[in-house]
Amino acid sequence: MLVDDEDAELRAAILLSMQVDEPNGGNETDAGGEGAAAAAAEARPAAVGAVRPEDGDLMERINGVCWGEQAANPSAALLEVQSRWCQGFRFVDSEPAALKQEAGGPCGIIGPVQAFLLRRLIYVPREGTDGKAINWRSPPDIDLYLIDALLDILTQCGAELARPVVLATIAEGKEVRSVADLHSAVRFDPYDDRASASTALRASLEQYNGEYGVLLFLYSAVATRGVEAVEGDQGLELDALISLPFGHANQSLVNLMLVGAAVQHVHDGVQDVGVPLRGVSAQPEIGYLTILEQLRYVSVGSFLKNPRHPIWLLGSETHFTVLFSLDARLTAGEGPVTRAKRVFGEHDAAGGGFIMPDKVPLVLRELGIERTPAEMAALIARLGGDVVLLSTFLDVLYPGASADETPANFVVYHYNGIASPGAVVRFTRGQAKSSAPRDFGASPVLRVLRTKWSALEVDFDAEVKI
């Protein structure tokens, strides 16, 4: 099956557009002119079909999902925000594996792509390398790793609904000088296997490196997930993926990049507070930590705090950076205490670190802990009666067990795609110690990290900012 039969939106568009436009030989393309367009067309493999703007309202709908009510008639503020999102995936000379962010705004895309790129460089060897480690800071064929990272994100956007990867590219012969031009020139090609998608992306990589690369990838992710699915992920409150007036990626867009679903929340599973609030449903490849938890606005769940690989997107109030480590012990698996905290948190609808006593049997059942009715009543009384605190629950059920399974010493690196004035983008090394922290003077990055490692000190080689 090339396309899911239940996916009416994408299927209808594909059936309407099995023929591809002939190139307009007199116009240059954004990717470098007629010659580049011809080369890309020759290299591009056959797709499942081509979804073209003139065949329907797909680009219009994606535009609305990304930019909100002003998308059709953009205000001066929206045009200014869109101009800051006009950049490609480019590496810096000072750090060959580090992406450069040229203006404020698109860090919600660039940060996750950098995280998935580091995952590929450090933990997932490419085919043909025989599993041998490479110099992750200066790898050969960095563009191939970038393609892998982009496809990893797109693949998980489509995986849950069995949708094909959809690549947005600028149609041959189209001249693009503005975002409005881009929206009129975009074509969408679905690919039912990774190999063909990889070949197509490699043929179009110049566009993704170019001025509109980040936007093309954003539109690819939404098209791959599906407009209706993105709206359904968000639930009752539909927000544009990019907020105005500042142009930051909202949590739904960050989650789309990290876990493949545009859910609005960062807790584990679904919390019912009268309406179901969808969070993260499984352990992701890349994690997430945020200053908003330290400020008590949100409570990040165990899944995002404990990803498969020791790589975390870090969120401040206005920016996203990346923390990562080569020390696989940091994500060595979910221990019993960590699992207990996660399951407890799934029943803590308010995120306040407590549950009501009637939830205790449900938590124990999910943890595989059996008690007779008499034993359950005695346990609930011992846990406190009126409310059950997480700390008390762990002390009683897991006496003597350490809730912190962190190594005593480990090395981390920090990435920020925007360099400070007079500095360059680099991976900044830090020596971490899981010792009792000072009660004062913590930097913003440490305040974020302590939402996961409560007793942590990190001595970075240079100042880091989030």
The catalytic residue positions are 107, 319
CA distance 339 to 141: 39
CA distance 249 to 198: 26
- Other C-beta atoms lying within 10 Å of the C-beta of residue 25: 10
CA distance 391 to 267: 18
CA distance 358 to 183: 53
Q: 213 with 204: CB under 8 angstroms?
A: no
> For the chain, how many helices (H) and strands (E)?
19, 14
Distance of CA 451 to the CA centre of its chain: 19
CA distance 26 to 28: 7
The interaxial angle of helices 34-43 and 194-203, nearest 10 deg, is 170
**Which one-letter DSSP state was computed for residue 184?**
H
**CA 57 to each of CA 12, 53, 183: distance values in angstroms, whole numbers, following the listed order:** 11, 6, 11
* Six token digits for residue 381: 């009384």
Compute and round to an integer the Cα radius of gyration of the chain: 24
H/E segment holding residue 261: none
CA proximity to 433, closest of 452, 415, 408: 408
CA distance 91 to 98: 5
CA distance 267 to 302: 8
CA distance 273 to 350: 8
With a CB cutoff of 8 Å and minimum separation 6, the contacts of 388 are 354, 355, 356, 357, 359, 360, 380
